[in-house]
C-alpha cells in the first residue's frame, strides 16, 4: 500500500499490450479517478528498442542471484529477491487475487497500442473520467478519443476475490517428486516447509469468495493522511521537439463504437499494403530489434508476415526456419501477427535491400 496517496499519479510502464497497455489498465485508472482517489493520472510507455526501467534491472540481478544459489522453497526465493538489489525490493506472498475485470466493466478500446502517453482526468460536470493521449511525450497537443466513455454503467461495483483452486496442480506427483529431492538435501526442514505449503494450498481453496472494499480503503487513507506540500506538476508541453517520423499521424483511439465518419478516418490513416514492409514490436520476440517483415496478407485484426533478417545498417534478406520432421529442409518464416504490434508501415527496402534513410532516422530515436 502507498505510504502517501498524491493528487497526481505518474506511471511508467513497458510498452506491452498483453500486460500493461490494455483497456483494463486504463479502466482501473479511470475508476480511481471517478472515485476521486486521484485528480489526475499520467501514464507513459517506453519506446521500443533498448529502453529499460528500474524493474528490469531488479529482475536482471534477481536472475543472477538465482543462477548462483540453490532455491528449494518459496521463502528462500522471496528472501533472495529482497536481498539481490539495492534499494531492497519487497516480496509479497499473495493468497488471493481479485476479479477486476467484472468490477470495472470497461468499454472496448481500439488503436490504443500506438500512443505512448495517456492522461486521465475527471469531468466535473459529468463525474466521468476522460482519457486523452498523444503519440510521444514531446508532442504538444493532447488528443481526445472518439466514441464513448471508458467505463460502462453495468460494471459490477463490488470487487470480489477469485476462488482459489488446485485443479491445475498434480499434488500427488508433486509429493512424489519431493520425495526424490529429500534424498539430497536436509530432508527434515525441507519436508516440513513443503508439507505446510501443500496444506496452505488446500486451505486457500476452502476460502469463501469475499468482497473487498478497495476504494473505501484508499479513500479513508487519503482522508486521514497529513496534508502534503502543494504539488507542482511539471509541464513539458513547451519543450516539444520535432522528431523524424514515418507516420504523420497515429490512428485515432476509439472507445466503444465509433461513428461512421470516425471509422472511415481510421481506415484512411492505417492501411497495410500487401508487399510493403513493416516494423513490428511483437512481444513474442522481445530481444529482436528492429523486427522487419513483408506483408503477405491482411485481415481485420491480423497480418500474415514474412520475417526478414538483418540489422539497421546491413542488407535484409528473407528469414527461413527448419521444416518440422524434414531434416535439412527449410521454409520461409511466415507468421500471423496482430496488427496492433505494427509500429511503422507502408515502405520498401532500397534496391540494395537496406532500410530507407527515413526509417533509420526513426529507429535512431528509439
Average pLDDT taken over every residue of the chain: 83
Least confident of 19-28, 107-116, 137-146, 262-271: 262-271
Q: Give the per-residue pLDDT at 275.
A: 94
Quick count: other Cβ atoms within 10 Å of Cβ 287?
5
The larger pLDDT score, comparing residue 148 to residue 116, is at 116
- Helix runs in 49-170, H state only: 54-68, 74-83, 100-104
- Strand extents, DSSP E, 135-179: 146-147, 159-160
Is 254:264 a contact under the CB 8 Å cutoff? no
Q: Coil, strand, or helix at residue 106?
A: strand
Taking only the tens place, the pLDDT of each residue in 269-318 is: 457 889 999 998 887 887 788 899 999 999 878 899 999 999 988 999 99
Q: Give the per-residue pLDDT at 244.
A: 42
Contact partners, residue 149, CB within 8 Å, separation at least 6: 107, 128, 129, 255, 256
Q: Give the per-residue pLDDT at 320.
A: 94
Give the mean model confidence (pLDDT) for residues 13-42.
Answer: 89
Q: Is the pLDDT of residue 65 over 50?
A: yes
Residue appearing with cell numbers 493528487: 7
Is 44:13 a contact under the CB 8 Å cutoff? yes
DSSP-derived pairing of the beta strands 254-255 and 146-147: parallel
Give the mean model confidence (pLDDT) for residues 251-261.
Answer: 66
Spatial separation of the C-alpha atoms in residues 161 and 164, rounded to whole Å: 9
Q: Torsions phi, psi of 169, nearest 5?
A: -115, 125
Q: Give the per-residue pLDDT at 224.
A: 83
Contact partners, residue 160, CB within 8 Å, separation at least 6: 98, 99, 102, 103, 209, 210, 211, 212
Q: Torsions phi, psi of 196, nearest 5?
A: -65, -40
Q: What is the DSSP letter of 254?
A: E
Closest to 26 measured CA to CA, from 96, 159, 131, 134: 131
Using only C-alpha atoms, what is the Rg of the chain? 25
The larger pLDDT score, comparing residue 101 to residue 2, is at 101
Q: Is the pLDDT of residue 43 over 60?
A: yes
In this prediction the pTM is 0.64
- Strand extents, DSSP E, 225-316: 254-255, 277-280, 291-298, 302-309
- Region class of 296: left (phi > 0), else alpha (psi between -120 and 50), else beta: alpha
User: What's the CATH number of domain 271-364, 2.30.30, 1.10.3470, 3.40.50, 3.40.1350?
Assistant: 2.30.30
The larger pLDDT score, comparing residue 251 to residue 27, is at 27
Q: Coil, strand, or helix at residue 285?
A: coil
Q: Coil, strand, or helix at residue 243?
A: coil
Show me where the domains of the chain are located: 8-163+207-224, 271-364
Q: Is the pLDDT of residue 101 over 60?
A: yes
Spatial separation of the C-alpha atoms in residues 53 and 268, rounded to whole Å: 35
The larger pLDDT score, comparing residue 240 to residue 7, is at 7
Q: Which residues pair with 118 in a beta bridge?
A: 43, 133
Is 160:113 a contact under the CB 8 Å cutoff? no
Q: Which residues pair with 338 in a beta bridge?
A: 302
Residue appearing with cell numbers 513483408: 294
Taking only the tens place, the pLDDT of each residue in 154-198 is: 555 678 888 888 888 899 999 999 988 888 887 788 999 999 999
- Strand extents, DSSP E, the chain: 8-13, 40-45, 109-110, 117-123, 128-134, 146-147, 159-160, 211-212, 254-255, 277-280, 291-298, 302-309, 317-318, 320-322, 330-332, 334-338, 342-347
Q: Give the per-residue pLDDT at 366.
A: 59
Q: Give the per-residue pLDDT at 227.
A: 60
Amino acid at each position: 500500500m502507498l505510504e502517501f496517496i498524491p493528487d497526481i499519479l505518474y506511471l511508467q510502464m513497458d510498452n506491452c499490450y498483453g500486460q500493461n497497455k490494455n483497456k483494463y489498465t486504463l479502466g482501473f485508472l479511470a475508476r480511481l479517478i471517478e472515485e476521486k482517489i486521484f485528480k489526475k493520472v499520467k501514464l507513459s510507455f517506453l519506446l521500443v528498442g533498448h529502453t529499460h526501467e528500474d524493474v528490469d534491472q531488479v529482475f536482471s540481478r534477481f536472475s543472477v542471484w538465482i543462477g548462483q544459489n540453490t532455491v528449494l522453497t518459496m521463502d528462500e526465493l522471496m528472501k533472495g529477491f529482497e536481498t539481490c538489489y539495492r534499494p531492497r525490493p519487497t516480496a509479497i506472498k499473495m493468497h488471493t487475487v481479485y476479479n477486476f475485470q467484472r468490477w470495472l466493466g470497461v468499454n472496448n478500446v481500439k488503436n490504443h497500442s500506438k500512443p505512448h502517453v495517456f492522461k486521465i482526468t475527471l469531468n466535473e460536470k459529468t463525474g466521468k473520467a476522460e482519457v486523452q493521449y498523444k503519440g510521444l511525450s514531446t508532442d504538444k497537443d493532447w488528443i481526445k478519443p472518439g466514441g464513448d466513455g471508458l467505463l460502462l454503467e453495468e460494471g459490477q461495483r463490488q470487487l470480489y476475490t477469485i476462488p482459489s483452486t488446485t485443479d491445475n496442480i498434480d499434488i500427488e506427483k508433486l509429493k512424489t517428486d519431493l520425495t526424490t529431492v529429500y534424498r539430497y538435501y536436509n530432508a527434515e526442514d525441507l519436508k516440513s516447509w513443503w508439507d505446510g505449503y501443500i496444506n496452505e494450498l488446500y486451505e486457500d481453496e476452502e476460502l469463501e469468495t469475499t468482497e473487498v472494499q478497495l476504494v473505501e480503503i484508499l479513500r479513508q487513507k487519503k482522508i486521514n493522511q497529513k496534508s502534503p506540500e502543494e504539488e507542482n506538476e511539471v509541464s513539458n508541453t513547451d519543450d516539444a521537439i520535432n522528431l523524424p517520423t514515418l507516420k504523420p499521424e497515429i490512428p485515432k483511439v476509439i472507445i466503444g463504437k465509433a461513428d461512421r465518419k470516425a471509422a472511415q478516418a481510421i481506415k484512411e490513416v492505417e492501411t497495410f499494403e500487401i508487399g510493403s514492409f513493416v516494423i513490428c514490436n511483437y512481444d513474442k520476440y522481445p530481444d529482436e530489434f528492429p523486427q522487419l517483415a513483408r506483408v503477405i496478407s491482411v485481415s481485420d485484426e491480423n497480418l500474415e508476415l514474412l520475417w526478414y533478417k538483418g540489422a539497421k545498417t546491413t542488407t535484409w534478406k528473407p528469414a527461413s526456419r527448419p521444416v518440422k520432421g524434414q531434416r535439412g529442409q527449410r521454409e520461409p518464416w511466415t507468421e500471423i501477427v496482430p496488427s496492433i504490434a505494427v509500429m511503422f508501415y507502408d515502405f520498401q527496402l532500397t534496391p540494395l535491400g537496406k532500410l530507407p534513410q527515413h526509417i533509420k532516422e526513426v529507429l535512431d530515436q528509439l
